[in-house]
Each structure stands twice: as C-alpha cells, then as structure tokens.
Amino acid sequence: MSSANDRRSVVLGGGMAGMLAAAVLADHGHDVVVVERDRLPDTARARRGVPQARHAHLMMSGGARVVETLLPGAAERWLAAGARRISLPTGLVSLLAQGWLPRWPEMEYLIACSRDLLDAVVRELVLARPGITLHEGAEAAGLLGTARRVTGVRLHGEGGAEDLAADLVVDTTGRGSRAPQWLARLGLPAVREETVDSGLVYATRVFRAPPGAEDVPVVSVQAETGTSRPGRGTTLMPIEGGRWIVTLAGTRGGEPTRDAGEFEPYARTLRHPIVADLIARAAPLTEVYVTRSTVNRRRYFERLPEWPAGFLVMGDALAAYNPVYGHGMSVAAHGAAALRAALRTEGAGDGSGFARRAQQAAAAAAGPAWDLATGEDLNYPGAVGGRPPVAARLLRGYVQRTMLTATANPAVTRPLLEVMTLSRPLSGLFAPGVAVHVLRGPGRRPSAEPPITAAERERWGLARV
C-alpha cells in the first residue's frame, strides 16, 4: 500500500466542491489531479459548464467559516474583490411567509457576490498549493478497477482516451454525475435516488445600482406555501461592482419568463412590490436568464451493501438542492470538512473501510440542507415527490411555527438563522430554551410594513413603500 507521501488522488470536477476536496487531500500528503472538462478562467469570469452561475449564489456563514479553516484568507480575498459581508438579520429586508423579519443586531452573516468571484478566489488559493495539478479539457468516462476497489479513472479529452491511475477518485461532477452508472458497470447494485421537484423556475437579471442605493441590503419576498396558489417570490442581492443580481422565482402555473418587458411587472405582482420599486430606478445590464433545473436530487450511495475502496462522491453529485435556499456552496464546504475529519481519523486514508466511512460522513453533511429544502418544496401545489413521513411533516410544522415566532422574538430568530446558515445543526431548534418560546408563539402580529427607515426609503428611492 502506498504511503501518504506518494498517494495520488484524482478529483473529478473543478467547482467549489472539487477544489475544496483537493485542498483537503493535499493537506494530508496526497498528490492531487483535478480533472475539469472546461478551460478554467484566470479571473472571476463565467465558464461554459456552469450556466447556473448567472443566478444568485450565497456563501452562508456556516460555510464561510469552514472555508476559512480550509483556505485561510479566503473571506478577506472575497471582500477585497468587492463581495459584501451581509449581517443577518441587520442587512436583510425579508418578508417571510409568516411576515417581515425585524432587522435586529447581527446574529449570523452571509457573503454576497457573484458565483464567478466565489469560485475564482477558492480556485486561486487551491491551485497555488503544492501537490495539486489541474488537468483541463477532459472528462471522466468511467471508473477503473472492480466492485471491491477503484484503481483510477478513464478520461476522454482532446487527445483521446486516457487511463489515470489513482489511490482515490473523488467525483464532484455535479448534478450530471454518472457515478451510479459507473458503479453499475463494476457490478454494484443500483443506487437509490430520491427527487423532490417543486416545479420552480428561476429568472435572473443583473442591474446597475442607482447612485446612492449601493448600500441596499439583501431584499427578499418569499413565497407562501401550503396554499392552492403557485409559490412566487424574489430576491435582490448586492454583488461586486455596484451591481444587483435580482431573481424571480415561481412554481407551476406562476413561472416567470425570459421576456425582459415582463420582469418588473412580475415583481410588482408579488406579496410586496419592494423589489419592483427598487429595480424601477436601476439600469439593466444583462438579458433575463431562465433556469428550470431546480429539482432536489439525492443519491444514497452510503446505503449500498458494498462500497469500493478508493472512491468517494461529494457535492451536487451526492445531493443537489433547489437553489432558492442558497445552501449548495455551504454544503460543499461542510462536505470537505467531513472528508478532512475522516482523513484525520484514518491517517492517509488507505484503510479498507475508509472510503465507506468517508462516504457516510459526506452524506451526513448533506442531510440537514436536504431536510430543510424538501420539507418546504413538497408543500407547493403540483410538487412531485414522495409524500414525506409523519416525522417530516411534524418537523415542517414546527419549523413554520419557529419562523412565525422569529418575526417577534430574537431568542428564536438567532437559532433559526444559525440553522438556516448551516452554522448549527437542525437539533438547535429543539433546545429547551428555544422550544419553550416556539410553543408560546410570537405573542404579537408581525409588522405589516418592511423594516426600513425613512432615510433609507429616501436614499433608495422608495417613497411609495
């Protein structure tokens, strides 16, 4: 068996999950080859293989803290490049399904910037590390080895087919991963897959912030769930370069379109017109980008009766979420942290059971965000997915009451934000001190008006709000 100093790992995919996994493996003595189909840009620019990057992406505080432990200085670089550190709930004007959330002093935060900037900083820091090589213009066609041990990967690239030997292959190729088919070719049974589809359609446009409105917070009008009407909402997020990225979202029967002339009118029909009023003064910088790939998809690799040594699936290839919840980037960070913990326990990671235990740890890291996303999405009319078990329905009812109570009680808002930003496990909502407040309820009705001051209204051009 190889020693830690001459082990080779191949990471398939050069996105957030792949780069963070590569950093962890290099830190534990592996020579790492990152295989990427695209030619990766040198700066914060779009790349062909990530069309979803045109939409809003968030790095929640729970993910940002983990990234900082993996790549010290990442947060500082994001901010230096123009990203915004948004205090939560101070820098958030949010109409929840239950009412407006007060802007209390900071409890958590998020990093707001383009997906291109998030990726560029991480990519630069990772590829600067010794022991990491980037292999561009190639993609995986299958695994080498047997059902007991994966020994490498077959690549197809510009120069034809190539077999790349490896002690560990990590698949982070995203929603389109073919890992279940690869494993089937090795003789392993079918991987159980679960999907929940709310039917959500995204329409996003980037605007130039009007003079004086560059300090607008994140503004969100969430959809109502549990009604017979389609769920419709919007989010405005300030990003680098004095720009706003604005996303409209609607489920079946209430979908936004790519018609630029319908963008503002759609926003004006929502539960509150605040975003429509903001963009009425802003100059559009792009066309309207529409995405329909918002299905929650989870593959239960960890439940296979056998698992080959030398193989691991992470990131969206393991669990992909409806983007409306903004959890994907942070889950990728937690998955990398789970891999780091497994390597610290196993040393070089060459024990016979390492891959299975690491796969189980990655699945556990993906679980909380899955429960939150699917628990909400199944309640939209026309949602497609298995009926949730009784425990899941009870959980959703409790979370909904928690959100209602959070509109009036900061003792509940804090743990709710900790859970929503993946800074604290879901069990934090059931701590005795929190549960007592939740069961008592908010005690008063949520505010009917957005929590913004007269000075902010004037500065942002919201005299009518």
Mean pLDDT by 10 residues, the chain (465 residues): 67 96 96 93 68 78 97 97 96 94 97 94 96 95 96 91 96 96 97 93 95 92 83 94 95 94 97 96 95 91 96 96 89 97 79 88 94 86 78 82 95 96 94 95 89 92 69
- Which one-letter DSSP state was computed for residue 464? T
Q: Which tokens belong to 454?
A: 């007269």
| Cβ partners under 8 Å of residue 380, min gap 6 | 198, 199, 200, 223, 225, 230, 231, 251, 252
Query: What CA–CA distance (Å, rounded) separates 159 from 163?
Result: 12
Quick one: which of 331, 336, 409 has its CA closest to 371?
A: 331
- How far are the Cα atoms of 8, 12, 13, 93, 364 from residue 350, in angstroms, in the given order? 11, 19, 22, 49, 21
CA atoms within 13 A on the CB side of 244: 30
Owner of token pair 């959703």: 396
pTM attached to this predicted model: 0.93
Scanning 60-101, the segments in alpha helix (DSSP H) are 61-70, 74-80
From CA 420, how far away is CA 16, in angstroms rounded? 20
* Short-list 82, 132, 133, 139, CA closest to 111: 82
Q: Which CATH number is associated with domain 4-84+115-194+297-375? A: 3.50.50.60
The distance in angstroms from the start CA to the end CA of the chain is 67
pLDDT of residue 47: 64
Q: Which region holds residue 421: left if phi is over 0, alpha if psi is between -120 and 50, else beta?
A: alpha
Torsion of CA 90, 91, 96, 101, to 10 degrees: 20
The runs of H, that is alpha helices, within 156-262 are 179-185
Q: Are 290 and 266 in contact (CB under 8 A)?
A: no
Per-residue CA distances from 417 to 267, 369, 402, 414, 435 (Å): 26, 13, 11, 5, 15
Which H helix or E strand runs over 20?
A: helix 16-27
Classified as helix, coil or strand, 96 is strand
25: amino acid identity, one letter: L
Contact 134, 40 (CB under 8 A): yes
Domain spans of the chain, in order of start: 4-84+115-194+297-375
pLDDT of residue 2: 40
- In contact, 448 and 271? CB cutoff 8 Å: no
Rounded to whole angstroms, how far apart are CA atoms 145 and 311? 10
Question: How far is Cα 315 from Cα 317, in angstroms, rounded to an integer?
Answer: 5
Which residue has 């912030």 as its token pair? 209
Question: How many residues in the chain?
Answer: 465
Q: Return the closest-CA partner of residue 378 out of 253, 223, 247, 199.
A: 199
DSSP letter at 149?
B
CA 196/CA 294 separation, integer angstroms: 9
Q: What pLDDT is recorded for position 4?
A: 47
**Token output for 111:** 């990093």
The DSSP bridge partners found for residue 297 are 195, 320
